[in-house]
Amino acid sequence: MAYVDGFLIPVPTRNLAAYRKLSEAAGKVWMEHGALDYKECAGDDVNAEGMGTMTSFPKTLATKRGETVVFSWILYKSRKDRDRVNAKVMADPRMAALCGPRDMPFELKKMMYGGFVVKVDV
């Protein structure tokens, strides 16, 4: 069964270009090691104001003024394949070069992450 790693990240809007550069390079690494799809999306219509009891990505992430919500996912054949691909990605020296703690265009501690089994694929 297909598997997805999903991410929500508040990225300072002034850092979106740097985030995109990092994401493009990282996406190539994931795809080379076997991911089926890699998407990074910047929030455009993410506010749920006036929608009754609904919440929003910005509220959930407690974004501050000047931050943009980034919603991302990586698709794999299965959970087992995801674990295999991620092990290769994390061992790839290009990732260490991309993801030094001083190089990150966002605060890692604010990133939300999880793995998901695909239940519906239309």
Q: What is the pTM of this model?
A: 0.91
Residue percentage of the chain with pLDDT more than 90: 76
pLDDT beyond 70 at 54: yes
How does residue 65 score in pLDDT terms, banded at 50, 70 and 90?
A: very high
**Residue 83 · residue 34 · CB < 8 Å:** no
CATH number of the domain enclosing 104? 3.30.70.100
Residue 116 falls inside a structural domain: no
Residue 118 falls inside a structural domain: no
Q: For 69-87, how does the pLDDT look when each residue is reduced to its tens digit (9 = 90+)?
A: 999 999 999 999 999 999 9
pLDDT beyond 80 at 34: yes
Residue 62 falls inside a structural domain: yes
* Residues 6+ away with beta carbon under 8 Å from 99: 22, 26
Domain that holds residue 103: 3-109
- What's the total number of domains in the chain? 1
SS3 helix, strand, coil % of the chain, rounded to 5? 40, 25, 35
Residue 65 falls inside a structural domain: yes
**Alpha carbon distance 116, 98 (integer Å):** 25
How does residue 51 score in pLDDT terms, banded at 50, 70 and 90?
A: low
